[in-house]
Structure 1
Amino acid sequence: MQIKNQRYCGSCYAFALVGALKKTYVQIYNTSGPLSPQQLIDCSYENGCEGGSFVGVLNYIHDNGDRLNLEKDYPSTPTGAKQDKCQNFTGQVLSYNATHRLQYRQLSTGNENYMKQIVYEQGPIYIYYNAGKREGNDTALHQTSAKFDHYGYGIYDVPGCPTHENMNHAMVIIGYGTQNGTDYWLMENSWGITWGDEGFIKIKRGANMCGLAT
């Protein structure tokens, strides 16, 4: 599995959506992608490197005929920055037919048992998450940011991490497990392989850690 790097561009929303669509692409084409986050940064209705949401990028994909390019056909810029104009509006069709269009479903808040069922039966989940805040006077957000930025291994557990504010980062839940008696989510980030556990993070499951189930 190839871990991507958004670099200095606030484009986690695009990378997370591409990660969430991996299984869809494999099921349709019986081969792996990867799909292009750069197309979403350049072409969608979101804010390029200033952040965005899955709603805007999915609306763009729908309006583009449920199509998104592979990364080889629409590569990322060297710095991850948004380009002045959209380079390519074509791409791979991500729906089975005109009746079965690409869709999303929002899960009920706080139900991590149901989230586990969805991951098992259907695949990755796109989530928003409180990754902390480096500036300001909020001690809890400072501590959360420091622990998230410097995560390396083990199960990430930050007691007191706010669950209903500062939802400032998007990632993808790709699996789950139990380690030394503690349940966890396995999540894919977009900060390259030098961050975390080769680009992944295990986050405590069952505690709505930092709002991942909000």
Structure 2
Amino acid sequence: MVALASRIEFKMNTAFFFLVIAFSRAFSTDIPSNPLSDDFIDYINSQQSTWRAGKNFDESTPTLHIRSLLGSRTSPKAKSLKTRVHSEDVEIPESFDARENWPECEIIRVIKDQSACGSCWAVSATSVMSDRICIHSNGKKQTYVSDEDLLSCCLVCGMGCSGGDPSLAWYYWNVHGISSGGPYNSTTGCKAYSLSPCGHHAPEKIPECPENDYDTPECMEQCDPQSPLDYESDKSYGQESYTVSSEVTQIQLEIMRNGPIVGTFDVYEDFLSYKSGVYQHVVGKALAGHAVRILGWGVEKGTPYWLVANSWNENWGDKGSFKIIRGKNECGIEFAINVALPKLTKSDS
């Protein structure tokens, strides 16, 4: 009798198991396979309400190209940094936007275009360096720290266009210094970004991206031929590299007191089609790590968020920026924040 009951129970469990498998397979077939397709975008929008998806990339864009834009890597060579703890003796506002708090620093409003290169680690770091030079000099120094110089010359940071560790960018800035330089074809500063913007977003009217993406530019320890500046004397330097606690309040205080920060997070397929609202992962596979610039925070329809600048030009997302849910360490956005302060002379401050 016991044996019979056991056989019946086994058959019931087996039947339940295969029912679950069948249900899972049936459910999975409802999710479109191409994460850039209209069907996938429609599926995202049918599953949640805090953000809306839309067309950013052409449906035919290779996944390999998408992955190549995600260049945030964690290196075993990264040095351990002390954690700076801010005293919580000030009231933190419900919303904060670095662009509005420091209006004299127009550079904070700039949305970079990393082009067909996994340089997010470099362009996000140099953006924050530039922001902080302006902020801590009270607007006296409006310096574009060169993406090109950091990307091509910081060998310890990683592999250039194949990815790097943004935490090591601060170490490089402190020790070696980084020259100035604006975007592609810019005559501002010492060394401009040499990688041309390309059409990895839709719709765009700029040249298509190269099939195999760009190689890392050669490190040239000199200014561009048309620049009158001297490479060594043009460099800016950082100091006091440190890490920021993953506690929301500490991150907010860091931004309020010192300016924007670099955040890294895991990109999932649904993020590629972000258009508006407060992003949180809904559906799709993890692709790779990405480095971005966190400008502030706020609350939208009851949902707390971080305000973030991306580096895929202004055609992507919400004019190049996005919001991501705050306080949940969504996709790891609050986990690993490393920054530094600029090294300024008395005349600069």
The aligned counterpart of 2:272 is 149
The residue matched to 2:160 in structure 1 has which SS? coil
Contact 2:262 2:292 in 1 (8 A): yes
Q: Percent identity, aligned pairs only?
A: 25
Q: Is the 8 A contact 1:25 1:94 kept in 2?
A: no
In 2, Cα distance between the equivalents of 1:121 and 1:62? 20
User: Are the counterparts in 2 of residues 20 and 126 from structure 1 also a CA contact under 8 Å?
Assistant: yes
Structure 1: 4+ residue segments shifted above 4 A: 159-162
Relative to its length, the structure with more helix (as a share) is 2
Offset at 1:166? 6.9
Amino acid across the alignment from 1:10: G
Per the alignment, residue 78 of structure 1 pairs with 195
Contact 1:176-1:186 at 8 Å conserved across structures: yes
**C-alpha distance in structure 2 between counterparts of 1:87 and 1:93, whole Å:** 14
1:87-133 per-position Cα deviation (integer Å, ceiling 9, x unaligned):
425333235xxxxxx22211223x1222112112221121111012x
- The match for 1:8 is 116
- Identify which of 143, 149, 167 aligns with 1:55: 167
Aligned to 2:291: 170
What does 1:18-33 correspond to in 2, within 5 Å? 18-26=126-134, 27-28=136-137, 30-33=140-143
Check the 8 A contact 1:173/1:186 in 2, yes or no: yes
Which residue number in structure 2 is paired with residue 99 of structure 1? none
In structure 1, C-alpha distance between the alignment counterparts of 2:219 and 2:307, rounded to whole Å = 35
Note the C-alpha offset of 1:32. 2.5
> TM-score, with normalisation over the residues of structure 1?
0.79
Secondary structure, aligned partner of 1:104? strand
Task: Report 1:1-214 matches (<5 A).
Answer: 1-26=109-134, 27-28=136-137, 30-45=140-155, 46-64=158-176, 66-71=177-182, 72=188, 73-79=190-196, 81-88=215-222, 89-90=231-232, 91-95=234-238, 102-109=239-246, 111-132=247-268, 145=269, 147-158=270-281, 168-214=289-335
CA distance in 1: counterparts of 2:256 and 2:271, whole angstroms: 26
Does the CA contact (< 8 Å) of 2:174 and 2:237 recur in 1?
no
| Paired residues, number | 191
Q: Return the letter of the residue paired with 1:93.
A: S
How far apart, in 1, do the equivalents of 2:310 and 2:128 lie? 12
Q: For the structure 1 residues 117 and 194, does the alpha-carbon distance in structure 2 shift closer, same or farther, using more than 3 Å as the test? A: same
- Name whichever of 187-196 and 23-32 sits farther off: 23-32
Q: Which runs of 5+ in 2 are unaligned?
A: 1-108, 183-187, 197-213, 223-230, 336-349
Deviations 1:28-66 (CA, angstroms, capped at 9, x unpaired): 3614332211111111123110100123322322332x3
- Greater C-alpha radius of gyration: 2
1:9 CA drift (Å)? 0.4
User: CA–CA distance in 2 between the matches of 1:93 and 1:47?
Assistant: 23
Distance 2:140 2:221 in 1: 27
DSSP 3-state at the match of 2:274: coil
Unpaired runs of at least 5, structure 1: 96-101, 133-144
The answer to whether the 8 Å contact 1:70/1:92 transfers is no
TM score, norm. by length of structure 2: 0.50
